Amino acid sequence: MKTLIFCVVVATCASNTIALHAEARSRSRLAASMFSGIQPGHDVVSFAYGGEGDINSSFAYGFGISYDGIALSQALTLILSSEVNFIRAETDPIDEQSGGSPEAQFRYRAIPILMWGELHQPGVFGPFLKLGIGAVHSAIDEEYHNWSELDLSCDFWSFACGAGAGVRYCPMEHLDVLLVGEGFFGTGSGVATNAFGDSFESGSPFDVWQIGVRLRGWF
């Protein structure tokens, strides 16, 4: 009888240990992700030598790695991620203005690199909220089609933060499908110059928002 009780105790402890290790494995996982979406055009750009143009909508994409291992409670889990996104947009060329402004076009490229904290409820389907902090590299160009000496350009790094929210769906254990809207907010500025030596302060082109789908596969 004592032998039987001992065997039951040992088996119970072993099963509890296995369950704890299984739970740790399920919570402590790494993932790789890919984002694809659009950056809706919404800003109006004022050109250095006069005239304005609307930023067009454009394609955006990005990549990331994630760590899922922090259960804040039974109803709330924290995922930590590092994500890099690539955003490029431009205005349509503006015609020569009546006031003498030459024909011009504005372009920018932005690469935000942020660390994110994502809060969500465990389960197959549900909402999530994410906040991020990091840096953004911005490159800004104004091109004057009939007078290239006026072309202005600059690139610079600046502090950035981000916020986003959406819906998360898990069709299988090792795959998350996230419908997300997120924005990046840059704080820095650069000085754009041209062949004539003219200089203009050019702010970071943020806030910039993007909407799309992120696929995240867990190892």
Q: Where are the alpha helices (DSSP H) in the chain?
A: 2-27
Per-residue pLDDT, 216: 96
Per-residue pLDDT, 102: 63
Q: How confident is the model at residue 43 (pLDDT cuts 50, 70, 90)?
A: confident
Tell me whether strands 52-54 and 189-193 are parallel, antiparallel or unpaired.
unpaired
Nearest residue to 81 (alpha-carbon basis) of 176, 173, 205: 176
Among 53-57, 144-148, 210-214, which is the least confidently predicted range? 144-148
What value does the mean pLDDT take over residues 21-31?
Answer: 56
Per-residue pLDDT, 90: 85
Q: How confident is the model at residue 98 (pLDDT cuts 50, 70, 90)?
A: very low
d(CA 127, CA 140): 35
Per-residue pLDDT, 94: 75
Nearest residue to 58 (alpha-carbon basis) of 86, 32, 84: 86
Per-residue pLDDT, 97: 53
What value does the mean pLDDT take over residues 53-82?
Answer: 88
Q: How confident is the model at residue 28 (pLDDT cuts 50, 70, 90)?
A: very low
- Fold classification of 28-218 (topology level): Porin (2.40.160)
